[in-house]
Structure 1
Amino acid sequence: MAFVSGPLFPIYGYKNVKNIMLAQPRQSDGPMVVAALNDPRVYMNLNGPPYPYTEKDWEEWYLFVSHAARECSKEYQVIDEELGDQGRDPKEREYQRKRLIMQSMWPLTIRIEPELLRDRLRGESAFIGTITPQRSIFLYILDEDERQRRKQENDGLAAGDPKIIWEVGFYLIPDYHGRGIMPAVLRTVIKHVLIQYMNAHIVEATYFEHNSSSKRVLEKCGFRIVQLVPDAIALPPTKTNGVTGRKVGLGVMRWQGA
């Protein structure tokens, strides 16, 4: 089974920029990722990536996410080929749920495809961000033992179990901030990835308390505030001009399906 690196899902419900797609990560995304994760408009709203972010950081991260994406892609292709168009018919839902992606993480990139077909066939799409649905890591639980217990419990649930708690993390490169892209992307991921291929019923997301933009994105997609955890995340001195001990609160929001 060949690894699909091209488009997987078109972004539904967004008209301002044509040809926005979800696709697998590509090694050639490195320069754009490095630039984004060294921009304060991005890194000050993210917990995970190191700062400064280097080419070596990208190479190591790409090995990890490309493997996860490759495994999801293999399962996705099998499901998609078996179900065909009927798999998207609500009458086939119960059968579809028997064929789910087993992986716990699906790293996806957000891309703009070129207008010309020949350029699309050559794979010349532009990276503009990432979104990753995965089983929750419960970042907002500050007690480490309890956080690990909850994660192990959640990870131990069988694929498709409606009690699995999923989460999404995302960012766009700053040139595309404020255009309404991310709500359309997130709605697409929930409906056409998490529900359809993972049978998700509960999806959570966290945001730094100063990041009102992400909070608005989540609200537009039907997420509701669960709690605000004060002083949850300690920022590294590299992000605070050498100041140590600075912490930010963490907002927790949840989407719940039928």
Structure 2
Amino acid sequence: MPGGQLYPLEINPHTEEPFLRLPSPNDNIILTPPRANDVKCLAPIINDPRVSVWLEGPPIPYRDEHAEEWLAQIIKQGEDILTELREEDRLNPDGQLKLVGGCPVRHIREVLPDGRDIYIGDIGLHRALMEEVLDPDERKKAVATNNEKAVGDPSTVWSFGDYLAPSHHGRGIMSAAMGTIINQWAIPRMGVRCMVGYTFSANEGSKRVFEKNGFEWKGTLDNGKLVRGEHKTINYLHWQL
């Protein structure tokens, strides 16, 4: 089959790096694996107040050593998936497309007219944190149960975490990136059938990104979340194939 087990990823002929391209009018935007030399690119975006205000996970201020640790983790995750698929190609070149446990492309880049690309954001697909389970102990159990499910199990619940450089806000890039991952990779290559979205309740822009991709808003959650000492409520959205 065209592309073998890496389908529908395209391959950069110069670097041999796999990527997914967003549809027009954002077809100069691609999703690639994270790169070790992205380390200096993360902090300027994450520390921008227009981005950091909506993020829960990363420490603020975000430093290059934080980026190095994070990149080592997600680079390995992506490389493991690509290695698994290339090995399947070698062992079973005419076989059915293999389901995998993640998406190997997540870093969002703008391709410039001269062919160079610049890092502008990140969109990662991961197993859900089950924020809708309000009791903390029950939530831990629900997360553990979800994490134990086998690759391709249609009952596994997935979710997205993402951010985009403010210079590129308002262009529909994140909506297109999410839709590209859902339709080109999550559904056909991971067997994803159920997803949820969580955003801080004041983050209308992120809520719209999920809604544009078929997520239904289910309400606002208060599970006692504290982010850098501030109490946060959460938009809860749901998607089912």
TM-score range, shorter chain: 0.7 to 0.9
Asked if the contact 1:104–1:135 (Cα under 8 Å) also holds between the matched residues in 2, the reply is no
> How far did residue 37 of structure 1 move?
1.0
AA of the residue aligned to 1:180: G
> How far did residue 161 of structure 1 move?
1.0
* Count of residue pairs the alignment pairs up: 227
Partner of 2:21: 10
> How far did residue 53 of structure 1 move?
0.4
AA of the residue aligned to 1:42: V
> How far did residue 182 of structure 1 move?
1.0
Give the 5 Å matches for 1:206-217: 206-217=198-209
2:232 pairs with 1:248: yes
- Aligned equivalents of 2:22, 2:92: Cα separation in 1: 21
SS at match of 2:51: helix
Give the 5 Å matches for 1:75-224: 75-78=84-87, 95-96=96-97, 99-101=98-100, 103=101, 106=104, 108-116=106-114, 119=115, 124-224=116-216
Partner of 1:58: 67
AA of the residue aligned to 1:100: L
- Aligned equivalents of 1:38, 1:166: Cα separation in 2: 27
Partner of 2:11: none
Deviations along 1:188-231, whole A, 9 cap, x unmatched? Answer: 01011111110100011100001000011111111001231136
Change in 2 beyond 3 A, CA 1:83/1:227: farther
Partner of 1:240: none
Asked if the contact 1:205–1:252 (Cα under 8 Å) also holds between the matched residues in 2, the reply is yes
2:65 pairs with 1:67: no
Which ranges of structure 1 fall in alignment gaps of 5 or more residues? Answer: 88-94, 237-243
2:33 pairs with 1:24: yes
Change in 2 beyond 3 A, CA 1:82/1:136: farther
Asked if the contact 1:231–1:247 (Cα under 8 Å) also holds between the matched residues in 2, the reply is no
- Aligned equivalents of 1:83, 1:226: Cα separation in 2: 43
Percent sequence identity over aligned pairs: 30
Deviations along 1:127-179, whole A, 9 cap, x unmatched? Answer: 11100011112234342221121111112211111111111111101100111
Partner of 1:239: none
SS at match of 1:129: strand
AA of the residue aligned to 2:163: Y
SS at match of 2:188: helix
AA of the residue aligned to 2:111: E
**Larger proportion of helix:** 1
Change in 2 beyond 3 A, CA 1:9/1:82: farther
Deviations along 1:61-84, whole A, 9 cap, x unmatched? Answer: 111111111112223445678898
AA of the residue aligned to 1:45: W
Q: TM-score, normalised by structure 2?
A: 0.85
- Aligned equivalents of 1:107, 1:161: Cα separation in 2: 21
Deviations along 1:18-77, whole A, 9 cap, x unmatched? Answer: 421110011222222101111111111011001010111111111111111111222344
Partner of 2:44: 35
